[in-house]
Structure 1
Amino acid sequence: MTQETGSGVGAIPTLEDWQHWTLVMGRAQQMMMEFWAQQMQQGQAPLAGPWPTPAFGFGEQGASSDPMAMMTAGAQAWAKGLETWGKVLGGVASPATDAQPVRDRRFSAPEWSENPIFDAIRKSYLQISDQLLGSVEDVEGVDADTQHKLRFAVRSFVDAMSPSNFAVTNPQVLKKTLESRGENLLKGLSNMLRDIAAGQLTQTKPGVFEVGRNLATTPGKVVKQTPLYQLIQYTPTTDEVMKTPVVIFPPWINRFYILDLTPEKSFVKWCVDQGISLFMVSWKSADESIADASLDDYVLNGQVDAIDSVRDLLGVDSVHTIGYCVAGTTLAATLAYLQAKGEADKVASATFFTAQVDFAEAGDLKLFLGDETMGLLQQLTAEKGYLDGRYMAATFNLLRGRDLIWSYVVNNYLMGEEPAPFDLLHWNSDTTNLPAGWHRNYLDTLYRGNKLAEKGGISVAGTPIDIDAVTTPTYIQAGREDHIAPPQSVWKIMDHFAGPKRFVLAGSGHIAGVVNPPAAQKYQYWINERPCGTLQAFVDGAEEHKGSWWPDWLGWLKKQDGATVKVEGARIPGGGKVKAIEDAPGSYVKAR
């Protein structure tokens, strides 16, 4: 109960209120102390886990063993934020009016506009943000890379300082706190401590999704297993299939089932239903057994080995290949290697999903390649020889901090809510460990050195390769809003490969631009049938098509080789000379 004041402006807390809020604070302190004690009993430093820092790198795991120091540092950071917004509360009388209706999801609640105080905070923040971001473009005397870093740093700072991220300047949080009498903050604290212990931000409701139960459920068998990968053959659903099979190489930095989410989103299921004889490589999450894996391993013992295995199993001369993201980069090296060895005819065609081979314009990820970050990677992996996948996840989250970090800080920690179930974000959080030496070499040689774009810049098993010599027919897909592999960077494949090429620009980004089933009727794609020397020329003359680009790719694939065969013998997983090892999706994708 509270006693209303005569003015109706506020309420006077009763003794019962004071007792309740004292109890809330006591429960919060108890939760913190129990957490620290549990961490110490388990031999872990407080706040152990891959937490991103504001710098272009990562926070050291267990940077301090003093819980009070960590708590003090956190309190100081929040205090500075609250101090800033306290000045805004006291200093803004007549903020600028909105030029247009609010479209920012952070401020979509009516309280942000209807309450004069929060309306002033919102408008002031947006005005200051625009000024800060605009000032970056006015900086003179710096090179493009420095300005890129500055732009990213300012944008990250602006997103972090949003009034929506602080309890006392977020009207929805204040309302929830009063309604629940502080239970939201206690639940939020519990959520935060859970995430700290796990070393990872929770982005989807726990326990909803499970690989093999409601994700990666397309029927098939594991027909080969090596120390580096498992090879999955999917069960046909048609009486006939394309004679030339398709082998998919997903990125080894993620789990393969991004292409086999729920059945209605599954690229794998769609391919099988279209009569494609389909194989998938499932990379092993790195441990000590493959800590020394290198480019040669991923090309020769990975991609070339899988290509040869499928050719031998089905008794065909060649296969179609797909390389997604970083696996597309190594697929380019594989094609160049086969070209140099006179074995290019093993691959009938190559499809690239948001992949880069020339990193001159590689986008925001280049911000994380400074000497400090490379040195930190060396420290993080020195003991076990592999990189904890949570560090890579933190990097990708930082690239879209507003959506992938701060929105969950508000929902999970301030509102005390569980995030909504989302299959894509379950996959995003399902991290994969990486061989340390190969990961650093990939970043240093390809991203920083851009050696793959040079003739003889790198060698595979002692053979210098040249991607300009690749004559394999190629289908190249890029995402218009891709922040990981920007379309201008993906386009550069067009400048290198010598064979026939088809470029498709898809709506959306690195994931949704790829995982866009026709039945969803979402987004669009652009095709330009005329020869184009630049991406801009392609865009200027492109024709827009509604929906998914998958049918366009299938039509192109069938033009490469439209022959079909009956489904029998080796076309059925386990029906040939190679017996099935286990059911899809296999054990490698489930290993943690």
Structure 2
Amino acid sequence: MLRSETSGDGERMAAALAGLAAYQAATRTAPPAEPPVAAAVGRARLLDYGGAGAPLVVVPSLINPHTILDLTEEVSLMRWLASRGVRPLLLDWGMPTPHDRGLDVAGHVEAMLLPLIDALGEAPLLAGYCLGGTMALAAAALRPVRGLALIATPWRFHGFPARTRAGIAELWEAARPPAEAMGVLPMEVLQAGFWRIDPQGTIDKYVRFGRMAPGSEAARRFVAMEDWANDGAPLTHAAGRELMEDLIAADRSGRRRWRVAGTPIVPGRITAPMLNIVSTTDRIVPAATAVRRGRRLTLGLGHVGMIVSRRARPTLWEPLAAWLLQQTMPR
């Protein structure tokens, strides 16, 4: 990818390699202390960030760790929300094993997310990020919730550019045999898929990092974000197959043919208030993939930047908190 994206530009190639070397050698800081566990179902846990008020179940994607929502002590949507009158409970999907190979995306909702919601004993607020939003939407169709917030959530998968979908199909064709053999789809394969979505941006970010002052706030944030992006549990084989074939290729959710717990998930049947946060500059989950329901909040930040960038707090955190609190007021 580096060769193709810097062909004929040796200076840019050298700058990207220098940035990569600087990233590899950068000093890491300890991650935030993990909060206590409020409930657990199998390998899945709800991490309790304290606070007061109505419980807010936050559903991250199955891809990449949940820690993007609690990146550092200073950059943590969860810890910030806990200081704003809600009680955030962050779902950690845990580490799948080959024994989980038959658990697809819908199965994660059925076997983990719904029982965790039931364990609370009351209707919670529900929020989902990326594929976690797709799963949270399904949960909101099957359980009563106070409100549903979707953040960069794909639902109409035909909204991905044709080139992106073709590249992902090619990637899955190559990855399917080893995934079937191992029972899981490794994170490294998924990361390669993300690189295909925006190869130029992948190179550019290392060029920019190489020019940052070592140890600066911007450099520390970059390292934490990249460590998160390059980490994560594998997907179960069934989840990888359902994501690649049923959702991305066949768009079953967008065509109202995706079933969870035997029920077709139809967003229009959800009666809870819905906040739909999308970005016009998100290349990972383009705005065209968003469900056409609820109150829409349109941003101009990248897929990860909307959660952890310097602009995230005034642009996403604050309006999200205001909307969540509004759903807990007496009607």
Which TM bucket (shorter chain)?
0.7 to 0.9
Which secondary structure state, in structure 2, belongs to the residue aligned with residue 442 of structure 1? Answer: helix
Matched ranges for 1:275-294 at <5 A: 275-294=85-104
Rg: which structure is higher? 1
Question: Which residue among 285, 302, 306 is the counterpart of 2:116?
Answer: 306
Instruction: Tell me the distance in 1 between the aligned counterparts of 2:114 and 2:22.
Output: 36
Distance 1:309 1:410, change over 3 A: closer
Q: Percent identity?
A: 21
Residue in structure 1 matching 2:274, options 474, 477, 482? 474
Shift of 1:268: 0.8
Task: Compute the displacement of 1:487 (Å).
Answer: 1.6
> Does structure 2 retain, via aligned residues, the 8 Å contact 1:398–1:404?
no
Cα pair 1:322 1:353 within 8 Å, conserved? yes
How far off is 1:428 after superposition?
1.1
| RMSD of equivalent CA atoms | 3.2
Equivalent in the alignment of 2:42: 227
The 8 Å contact of residues 479 and 487 in structure 1, kept in 2 or not, is answered as yes
Structure 2 letter corresponding to 1:160: T
Amino acid of the residue matched to residue 230 of structure 2?
A: S
**Which one of 374, 378, 397 corresponds to residue 176 of structure 2?**
378
Does residue 463 of the first structure (1) align with residue 267 of the second (2)?
A: no
Contact kept, 8 Å, 1:249 with 1:280, in 2: the verdict is yes
1:174-215 CA distance string (max 9 Å, x none): xxxxxxxxxxxxxx8xx9xxxxxxxxx7783457336xx3x2
**In 1: Cα distance, 2:9 partner to 2:157 partner:** 37
What SS class does the counterpart of residue 443 from structure 1 fall into? helix
Matched, 1:436 2:242: no
Query: Structure 2: which 5+ runs fail to align?
Result: none
Q: Is the 8 A contact 1:223 1:231 kept in 2?
A: yes
Q: Which residue of 2 aligns with 1:322?
A: 127
Aligned: 1:503 with 2:296: yes
C-alpha contact 2:49 2:82 (8 A) present in aligned 1: yes
Any conservation in 2 of the 1:453–1:467 contact (CA below 8 Å)? no
Residues 1:165 and 1:326: Cα distance change in structure 2 (over 3 Å): farther
Please state whether the residue corresponding to 2:181 is helix, strand or coil.
coil
Match of 2:226 in 1: 425
Check 1:405–1:467 CA distance in 2 against 1; reply closer, same or farther (3 A cut).
same
Superposed counterparts of 1:155-234, under 5 Å: 157=4, 159-164=5-10, 204-206=23-25, 208-209=27-28, 213=30, 215-217=31-33, 220-234=35-49
Instruction: Provide the C-alpha distance between the structure 1 equivalents of 2:186 and 2:265, rounded to a whole number of angstroms.
Output: 31
SS in 1 for 2:36: strand
Structure 1: stretches of 5+ with no match in the other structure:
1-51, 55-77, 79-156, 174-187, 192-200, 339-343, 525-546, 564-592
Q: 1:549 is matched with which residue?
A: 316
| TM-score w.r.t. length of structure 2 | 0.85
CA distance 1:410–1:383, change in 2 (3 Å): farther
CA distance in 2, matches of 1:523, 1:280: 18
Aligned residue number for residue 185 of structure 2: 387
Q: Secondary structure of the equivalent of 2:305?
A: coil
Structure 1 equivalent of residue 199 of structure 2: 401
How do residues 248-263 of structure 1 correspond to structure 2 at under 5 angstroms?
Answer: 248-263=58-73
Q: Which of 318, 325, 348 matches 2:146?
A: 348
Alignment TM-score, normalising by the size of structure 1: 0.50
Structure 1 position 328, deviation (Å): 0.8
2:168 paired residue number: 369
Read off the aligned partner of 1:335 and give its amino acid letter: A
Q: How does 1:54-133 map to 2 (within 5 A)?
A: none
What is the DSSP-based 3-state SS (H/G/I as helix, E as strand, rest coil) of the residue aligned with 1:373? helix
Specify whether residues 439 and 275 from structure 1 end up closer, same or farther in structure 2 by C-alpha distance, changes over 3 A only.
same
Shift of 1:411: 8.5
* Maintained 8 Å contact 2:107/2:260: no
Could you tell me whether the CA contact under 8 Å between 2:168 and 2:193 is conserved in 1? Answer: no
